[in-house]
């Protein structure tokens, strides 16, 4: 029987990349290849800056806002969430029809970065399988 | 909508699941095992066998193609439709699509990314040859925080606001008397 492929390390790394990417997207003001809808002039005046999705506490730029449930060898699922209290504001921004600011999700850029780690794990697995099938280490 | 329904919607929205696919992995393993066996019978050297498998992995071939695409599809978004809209945002991009390089307007942006951000609109093919964000062609390497957006979407006003934020941060880091966003904007426009 072939040995199981363990992607838990890669999944956890991917989760960290996704969180960093979401946080950077908020700092940058763009995500999924498009800018967020700008704040109203009155909001900019009130906040003192023009960064959409950034308020006094900078909640959406902080990694701690997006807790990760890590994958393990036996449960190869990693999950990302948003802390209570920030989730409803995130939902409003993400799904608003008039002021859409889709910032939460997995961008192609994050997925492509994570894929490198997944490919590395598959590569290691291939080596192991080749040896298991009777070849010497390549 | 009841509070309970709102909670359910929020809970569903906020969970991003990243998972490997047990079935696809098992299928991939059997395909891999069968492939290796055939190669052994054919007298293929382990070096050639490894090279063929790496090529299959990199090109999404018959052994790893389904595993790789299934994995990408399996990465789930909490909001229904968000996956579609994020994918749509990258669809329709071809070599000639004009795009702007957007950097985070703070002091931590590397010179290469800053230079790209000031390079104006360029076709997608130009950015591919220059190195896409996170491709490792700039000093920041894998830590790149930049993004490409279709030209026209990132307006002059947004660019001015980003420059203002950068000016404000740069000024405040080196002066005791801090300036606010509006004062930084005045400095930029002078």
pLDDT digits (tens, 9 = 90+) for B52-76: 888 888 887 887 877 777 777 766 5
Mark yes or no for CB contact A87/B13 under 8 Å.
yes
The nearest CA of chain B is from the CA of A80 a distance in Å of 5
State how many domains chain B has. 2
| Among A14, A28, A115, beta carbon nearest to B104 | A28
- Same domain for B102 and B82: no
Reported as a single tens digit per residue, the pLDDT across B122-153 is 999 999 999 988 888 899 988 899 999 999 88
In which domain, by residue range, is B142 found?
98-189
CB contact under 8 A, A105 and B17: no
SS (H, E, C) chain A: CCCCCCCHHHHHHHHHHHHHHHHHHHHHCEECCEECCCCCHHHHHHHCCCCCCCCCCCHHHCHHHCCEECCCCCCCEEEECCCCCCHHHHHHHHHCCCCCCCCCCCCHHHHHHHHHHHHHHHHHHHHHHHHHCCCCCC
The closest CB to that of B158, out of A38, A77, A112, belongs to A38
Q: Let me know if residue B112 belongs to a domain.
A: yes
Chains A, B: CB contacts within 8 A come to 191
Provide the residue ranges of all domains of chain A, joining segments of one domain with +. Answer: 8-129
Q: Give pLDDT tens digits along chain B (190 positions).
A: 777 877 777 887 788 888 776 666 666 666 777 888 888 788 888 888 888 888 888 887 887 877 777 777 766 554 334 444 444 445 567 888 999 999 988 878 899 998 999 899 999 999 999 998 888 889 998 889 999 999 988 888 888 888 888 888 889 889 999 998 889 989 988 7
Tell me: do B82 and B25 sit in the same domain: yes
Q: What residues of chain A lie within 8 A of the CB of B20, using their CB?
A: 5, 7-8, 11, 71, 76-77
* In a shared domain, residues B73 and B108: no
Cross-chain Cβ contact A71/B19 below 8 Å: yes
- Pick from B61, B86, B111: which residue ends a domain? B86
B105-124 residues touching A, CB cutoff 8 A: 106
Q: For A60-95, how does the pLDDT look when each residue is reduced to its tens digit (9 = 90+)? A: 999 999 999 999 988 888 999 999 999 988 988 888
First to last CA, chain A: 21
Q: Which residues contact B133 (CB under 8 A, 6 or more apart)?
A: A109, B101, B113, B144, B145, B146, B147, B148
Assess if residue B183 is contained within a domain. yes
- A119/B58 touch (CB, cutoff 8 Å), yes or no: yes
The minimum CA-CA distance between A121 and chain B, rounded to whole Å, is 11
Last residue within a domain, chosen from B38, B64, B86? B86
Do B36 and A129 make contact, defined as CB atoms within 8 angstroms? yes
- ipTM of the complex model: 0.82
- For the whole model, what pTM was predicted? 0.82
Same structural domain for residues B79 and B120?
Answer: no
How far apart are alpha carbons A25 and A19 in whole angstroms? 10
Q: Is residue B32 part of a domain?
A: yes
Do B115 and B177 share a structural domain? yes
- Pair B177, B150 in one domain: yes
B39 & B106 share domain: no
Q: In terms of domains, do B78 and B109 share one?
A: no
Q: Is residue B93 part of a domain?
A: no
Which residue among B39, B59, B86 closes a domain? B86
**B25 and B59 share a domain?**
yes
Q: Among A33, A79, A133, select the one facing B17 at the smallest CB separation.
A: A79
């Amino acid at each position: 029987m072939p040995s199981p492929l363990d992607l838990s390390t890669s999944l956890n790394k991917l989760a960290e990349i996704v969180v960093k990417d979401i946080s950077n997207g908020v700092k940058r003001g763009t995500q999924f290849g498009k800018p967020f809808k700008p704040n109203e002039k009155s909001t900019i005046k009130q906040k003192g800056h023009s960064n959409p999705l950034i308020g006094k506490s900078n909640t959406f730029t902080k990694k701690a806002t997006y807790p990760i449930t890590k994958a393990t060898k036996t449960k190869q699922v990693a999950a990302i969430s948003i802390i209570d209290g920030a989730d409803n504001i995130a939902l409003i921004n993400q799904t608003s029809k008039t002021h859409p600011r889709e910032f939460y999700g997995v961008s192609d850029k994050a997925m492509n970065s994570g894929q490198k780690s997944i490919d590395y794990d598959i590569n290691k697995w291939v080596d192991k399988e080749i040896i298991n099938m009777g070849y010497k280490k390549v | 909508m009841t509070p309970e329904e709102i909670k359910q919607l929020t809970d569903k929205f906020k969970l991003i699941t990243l998972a490997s696919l047990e079935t696809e992995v098992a299928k991939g393993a059997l395909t891999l095992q069968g492939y290796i066996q055939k190669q052994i019978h054919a007298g293929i050297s382990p070096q050639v066998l490894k090279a063929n498998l790496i090529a299959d992995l990199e090109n999404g071939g018959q052994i790893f193609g389904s595993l790789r695409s299934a994995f990408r599809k399996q990465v789930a978004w909490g909001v229904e439709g968000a996956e579609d809209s994020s994918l749509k945002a990258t669809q329709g991009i071809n070599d000639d699509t004009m795009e702007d390089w957007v950097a985070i307007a703070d002091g931590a942006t590397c010179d290469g990314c800053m230079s790209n951000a000031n390079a104006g609109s360029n076709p997608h093919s130009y950015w591919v040859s220059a190195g896409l964000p996170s491709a490792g062609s700039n000093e920041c390497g894998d830590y790149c925080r930049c993004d490409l957006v279709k030209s026209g979407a990132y307006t002059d006003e947004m660019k001015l606001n980003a420059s203002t934020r950068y000016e404000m941060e740069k000024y405040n880091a080196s002066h005791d008397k801090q300036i606010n966003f509006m004062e930084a904007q005045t400095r930029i426009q002078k």
